């Protein structure tokens, strides 16, 4: 029985003496060690998961039920925070962040205070100074919920950071900062495509009216045309009179994106001045601007626009014709009548097609409504 | 002397392939950690409530899918996304696919002007559902999956489109996760691929995955480890090398404009998904347009993998033919500095390890047999070489389980993980050799001119009877 280990040892030492075998043996030993380490690591992670589950359950049993009672009284709150500190940080975070996300008003303020008392905001600020941008990003995502005016300076320090971090910092500052902060953070931001406007629209939607007015004052300082157009469109909803002041300038802008933005904003402001501006933009050299101006005129639902939109049914651009036809349709019976007339008598095949398609869509919508009512 | 050089050749290949995989593992760890920081599920409610969230069209080509089409469409309509339209393209089905859709979703014909941005077979009719206005169905002449997708591309007017297989189960929040890349990445993302998971063993309820577990079939278990390896380090690693060449046809989110610029899906290939991604790289690099093709580790959809060797054989055969076809069609990119890292690193990687790899591996086995047959063999060297190759393969498989743990692991219990480690160990004894044979068969059949999809059968997610589906390109 003892002969086998001896034989193996002899074979091994024989191999070790030859360089090529020795190299392969070293490779094998390294591989086996790595495999073993990885398996051990995986098992450790598995036990950590189980441990975290147990901690979470224990936390819920101990402090879950008393959370809302603690919110009612400052002593209870301090006691709750003291007890919570004995649990692992991820467990507390998971619990408290969920409530910050789902509450509003005074309750939310109280929970944010608890977040601060637990030292979690302090940890976020530490992470925000990390050299690893991934850690900074996670910190900002957490601060989006819990930051207050006190964290303003730390957020503004992110103005030279990478794109997603600047966007995140701007989203937090929109709530707790000033218009000047936002201009400083965003003025040289470059949006490479329109899809990237969405987070900025979200940011603008959370901004107080006072900040909006300040931001519009610095509208020309924003370098990116897409950013300017986003701010302009949002302002039409929140501060229409301020937006109106900027519209003529936006309609004359050399960048197509800004002129398109001017059309959308004008469509949201149903006044004579914006209608005239849209009528002028129907002759723009860019098909995108013409199409958007046609769509915006439809939004205003002014019957006197129908003949002008009718002319656009002969536009060389497919999208301008489609938008014009849709705009005519949404004017109601008069619009439908106009489209029927074009579809029945117009010699231009493209105008006929555009009108016909909108009439089909109208019929289907009527049927759909019927289907839904059934 | 020749014997020496052949030995050197195989050792070099061995060192290169495993060295490349080690680099990919390191890169994918960095990318997974980065993704952990940038995925923002806490903002889902904001994205869902915003009018500015970009609309998405789901393109689902269907051919003779009468049995499952209703469930698939219902699951697509259940996806959590604020602005969504589902476009089912009936590719000239000969069964009752269209009738089933008409009956269940109350389809009404509508006359639409559709611009031909990409050439396709004629469209017979367009329908919109009166039950759910987000659903559109296009009936067309049979022209294959790629042609059906091209029809959908022409029809949809949203900036983003999602191409998927009608028989996959999509995670309800998959679109929210994938769209994040288009919203927050400044490097002009044109396509995003997500990680496809194995549905075998999972419990499916109302078109959604309710619980995940390991399947009973060992063949399916081997494929779980294989999918983790392929998606989590194979594809993630390439993100930092300029992007990979494959976005699974099962689920991908694309910028419509980029697909149209690339000419849409190629119709005369069974690898239309890989071909499209290669052409996206090619078009953007040739025009000097900044772009990015990204793979994310988030599990976006579940697919049922074959549990029979015959079906697995046909699937791998088709994948390999698609790959060979695409790599040959775009061979001018190989080592071409004009295509940057794609031409100098990624494309050569695919040619050397994915196209020629099976042939070199076969050569290795052949050389081993030759040496045994002629007695010209150093037994110790062979044993050590095979042991180190075996442990390296095992190491990479265990590594993929760790990558899975770093992001979103579905297998979290000790039992499941021990079983997966056993699967990673055992797959080296037969399964790998079997898939090697299927890939070789694919190359051989490609050389013979085979271009059909082959017959696929699926067991079904529930206890439905076995259904046979033939997909002819």
Spatial distance between the Cα atoms of B413 and B74, rounded to a whole number of angstroms: 32
pTM beyond 0.80: yes
What are phi and psi for residue B139, nearest 5 degrees? -100, 130
- Quote the mean pLDDT of chain B: 87
Q: Do A35 and B401 touch (CB under 8 A)?
A: no
Q: Do A192 and B187 touch (CB under 8 A)?
A: yes
pLDDT tier, B454 (very low <50, low <70, confident <90, very high otherwise): low
Asked if the C-beta of B287 comes within 8 angstroms of chain A's C-beta atoms, the answer is no
- Closest partner residue to A42 (CB to CB) among B37, B188, B402 is B402
Q: Which residue has the higher pLDDT, B211 or B193?
A: B193
pLDDT at B388: 86
pLDDT at B228: 92
What's the gap in Å between the CA of A334 and the closest CA on chain B?
A: 22
pLDDT at B440: 94
**Is the per-residue pLDDT at B468 higher than 50?**
no
Spatial distance between the Cα atoms of B84 and B54, rounded to a whole number of angstroms: 9
**Is the per-residue pLDDT at A327 higher than 90?**
yes
pLDDT tier, A37 (very low <50, low <70, confident <90, very high otherwise): very high
DSSP one-letter string for B257-285: HHHHHHTS--SS-S-HHHHHHHHHHHHHH
**Is the per-residue pLDDT at B202 higher than 90?**
no
**Is the per-residue pLDDT at B458 higher than 70?**
no
Q: Which residues of B touch A193 (CB under 8 A)?
A: 188
- Quote the mean pLDDT of chain A: 90
B186 → chain A, closest CA residue = A192
A159-163, B313-317, B455-459: lowest mean pLDDT where? B455-459
Q: Do B384 and A42 touch (CB under 8 A)?
A: no
DSSP H helix total and E strand total for chain A: 22, 0
Q: Which residue has the higher pLDDT, B368 or B76?
A: B76
Asked if the C-beta of B50 comes within 8 angstroms of chain A's C-beta atoms, the answer is yes
pLDDT at A368: 65
Asked if the C-beta of A183 comes within 8 angstroms of chain B's C-beta atoms, the answer is no
Torsion of CA A153, A159, A164, A168, to 10 degrees: 30
Q: Do A197 and B36 touch (CB under 8 A)?
A: no
Spatial distance between the Cα atoms of A94 and A304, rounded to a whole number of angstroms: 57
pLDDT at A278: 93
**Is the per-residue pLDDT at B365 higher than 50?**
yes
Total residue count of chain A as it appears in this document = 374
Handedness of CA A212, A215, A217, A223 (dihedral sign): negative
pLDDT at A1: 54
Q: Which of A27, A233, A370 to mutate to test the interface with B (most CBs of B within 10 A)?
A: A27
Q: Do A364 and B108 touch (CB under 8 A)?
A: yes
A87-96, B322-331, B363-372: lowest mean pLDDT where? B363-372
Asked if the C-beta of A34 comes within 8 angstroms of chain B's C-beta atoms, the answer is yes
pLDDT at A2: 64
Q: What is the pLDDT of residues B51-109, one digit of tens each?
A: 788 999 999 999 888 888 888 898 899 899 998 999 999 999 998 999 999 999 999 88
Handedness of CA A78, A80, A86, A92 (dihedral sign): negative
A25-34, A180-189, B203-212: lowest mean pLDDT where? B203-212
Most confident of A248-252, B17-21, B363-367: A248-252
What's the gap in Å between the CA of A324 and the closest CA on chain B?
A: 15
Query: Are the C-beta atoms of B403 and B231 separated by less than 8 Å?
Result: no
A184-193, B79-88, B455-464: lowest mean pLDDT where? B455-464
What's the gap in Å between the CA of B83 and the closest CA on chain A?
A: 13
Q: Which residue has the higher pLDDT, A365 or B141?
A: B141
Q: What is the pLDDT of residues B396-440, one digit of tens each?
A: 999 999 999 988 788 888 999 999 999 999 998 889 999 999 999
**Is the per-residue pLDDT at B9 higher than 90?**
no
**Is the per-residue pLDDT at B300 higher than 90?**
no
A·B CB contacts under 8 A: 140
Average pLDDT over residues B25-32: 91
Output the 3-class SS for A120-159: HHHHHHHHHCCCCHHHHHHHHHHHHHHCCHHHHHHHHHHH
Asked if the C-beta of A53 comes within 8 angstroms of chain B's C-beta atoms, the answer is no
**Is the per-residue pLDDT at B41 higher than 50?**
yes
Average pLDDT over residues B182-201: 90
Q: Do B398 and A137 touch (CB under 8 A)?
A: no
Q: What is the pLDDT of residues A130-149, one digit of tens each?
A: 999 999 999 999 998 889 88
- Name residues whose C-beta falls within 8 Å of residue A39's C-beta, 6 or more positions apart in sequence: B398, B421
Spatial distance between the Cα atoms of A133 and A164, rounded to a whole number of angstroms: 10
Q: What is the pLDDT of residues A274-312, one digit of tens each?
A: 999 999 999 999 999 999 999 999 988 888 889 999 999
What are phi and psi for residue B128, nearest 5 degrees? -125, 145
Q: What is the pLDDT of residues A197-225, one digit of tens each?
A: 989 998 998 888 888 889 999 999 999 99
Average pLDDT over residues A56-75: 90
């Amino acid at each position: 029985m003892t002969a086998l280990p001896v034989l193996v040892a002899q074979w091994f030492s024989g191999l070790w003496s030859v360089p090529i075998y020795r190299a392969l043996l070293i490779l094998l030993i390294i591989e086996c060690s790595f495999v073993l380490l990885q398996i051990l690591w995986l098992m450790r992670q598995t036990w950590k998961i189980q441990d975290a589950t147990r901690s979470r359950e224990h936390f819920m049993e101990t402090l879950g039920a008393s959370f809302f009672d603690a919110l009612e009284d400052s002593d209870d709150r301090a006691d709750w925070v003291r007890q919570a500190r004995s649990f692992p940080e991820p467990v507390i975070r998971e619990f408290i962040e969920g409530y910050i996300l789902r509450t509003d008003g005074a309750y939310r303020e109280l929970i944010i205070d608890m977040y601060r008392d637990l030292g979690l905001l302090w940890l976020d600020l530490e992470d925000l100074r990390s050299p690893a941008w991934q850690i900074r990003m996670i910190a900002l995502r957490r601060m989006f919920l819990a930051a207050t005016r006190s964290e303003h300076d730390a957020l503004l320090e992110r103005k030279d950071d990478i794109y997603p971090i600047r966007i995140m910092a701007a989203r937090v500052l929109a709530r707790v900062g000033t218009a000047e902060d936002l201009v400083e953070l965003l003025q040289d931001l470059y949006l490479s495509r329109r899809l990237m406007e969405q987070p900025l629209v979200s940011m603008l939607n959370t901004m107080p009216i006072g900040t909006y007015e300040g931001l519009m004052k610095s509208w020309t300082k924003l370098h990116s045309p897409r950013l300017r157009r986003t701010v302009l469109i949002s302002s039409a909803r929140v501060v229409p009179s301020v937006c109106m002041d900027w519209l003529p300038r936006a309609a004359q802008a050399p960048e197509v994106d800004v002129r398109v933005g001017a059309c959308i904003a004008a469509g949201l402001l149903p006044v004579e001045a914006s209608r005239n501006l849209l009528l002028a933009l129907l002759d723009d050299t860019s098909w995108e601007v013409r199409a958007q101006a046609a769509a915006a005129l439809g939004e205003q639902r002014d019957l006197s626009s129908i003949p002008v939109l009718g002319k656009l049914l002969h536009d060389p651009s497919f999208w301008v014709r489609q938008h014009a036809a849709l705009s005519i349709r949404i004017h109601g019976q008069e619009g439908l009548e106009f489209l029927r007339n074009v579809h029945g008598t117009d010699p231009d095949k493209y105008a006929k097609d555009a009108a016909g398609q909108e009439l089909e869509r109208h019929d289907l919508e009527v049927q759909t409504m019927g289907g839904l009512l059934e | 002397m020749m014997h020496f050089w052949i030995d050197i050749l195989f050792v070099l290949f061995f060192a290169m392939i495993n060295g490349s995989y080690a680099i990919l593992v390191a890169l994918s760890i960095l990318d997974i950690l980065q993704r952990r920081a940038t995925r923002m599920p806490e903002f889902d409610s904001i994205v869902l409530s915003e009018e500015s969230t970009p609309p998405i069209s789901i393109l689902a080509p269907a051919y003779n899918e009468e049995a499952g089409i209703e469930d698939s469409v219902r699951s697509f309509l259940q996806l959590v996304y604020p602005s969504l339209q589902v476009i089912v393209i009936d590719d000239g089905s000969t069964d009752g696919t269209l009738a089933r859709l008409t009956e269940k979703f109350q389809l009404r014909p509508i006359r639409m002007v559709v611009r031909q941005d990409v050439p396709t077979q004629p469209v017979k009719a367009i329908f919109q559902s009166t039950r759910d206005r987000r659903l559109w169905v296009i009936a067309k002449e049979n022209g294959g999956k790629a042609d059906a997708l091209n029809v959908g591309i022409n029809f949809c007017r949203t900036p983003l489109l999602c191409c998927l297989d009608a028989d996959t189960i999509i995670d309800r929040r998959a679109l929210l996760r994938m769209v994040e890349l288009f919203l927050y990445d400044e490097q002009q993302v044109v396509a995003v691929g997500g990680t496809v998971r194995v549905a075998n063993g999972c419990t499916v309820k109302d078109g959604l995955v309710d619980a995940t577990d390991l399947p009973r079939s060992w063949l399916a278990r081997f494929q779980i480890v294989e999918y983790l390896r392929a998606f989590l380090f194979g594809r993630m690693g390439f993100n930092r090398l300029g992007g990979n060449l494959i976005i699974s046809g099962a689920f991908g989110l694309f910028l419509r404009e980029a697909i149209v610029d690339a000419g849409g899906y190629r119709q005369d290939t069974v690898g239309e998904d890989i071909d499209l991604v290669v052409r996206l790289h090619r078009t953007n690099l040739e025009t000097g347009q900044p772009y990015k093709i990204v793979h994310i580790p988030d599990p976006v959809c579940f697919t049922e993998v074959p549990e029979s060797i015959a079906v697995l054989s046909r699937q791998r055969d088709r994948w390999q033919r698609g790959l060979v076809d695409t790599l040959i069609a775009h061979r001018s990119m190989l080592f071409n500095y004009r295509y940057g890292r794609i031409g100098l690193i990624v494309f050569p990687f695919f040619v050397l390890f994915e196209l020629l790899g099976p042939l070199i591996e076969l050569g290795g086995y052949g050389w081993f047999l030759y040496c045994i047959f002629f007695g010209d063999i150093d037994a110790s060297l062979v044993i050590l070489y095979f042991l180190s190759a075996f442990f390296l393969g095992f190491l990479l498989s265990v590594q993929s389980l760790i990558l899975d743990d770093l992001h979103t692991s579905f297998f979290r219990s000790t039992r499941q993980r021990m079983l997966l480690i056993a699967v990673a160990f055992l797959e080296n004894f037969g399964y790998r050799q079997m898939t090697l044979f299927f890939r070789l068969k694919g190359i051989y059949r490609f050389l013979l001119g085979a271009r059909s999809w082959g017959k696929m059968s699926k067991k079904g997610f529930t206890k439905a009877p076995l259904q046979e589906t033939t997909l002819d390109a």
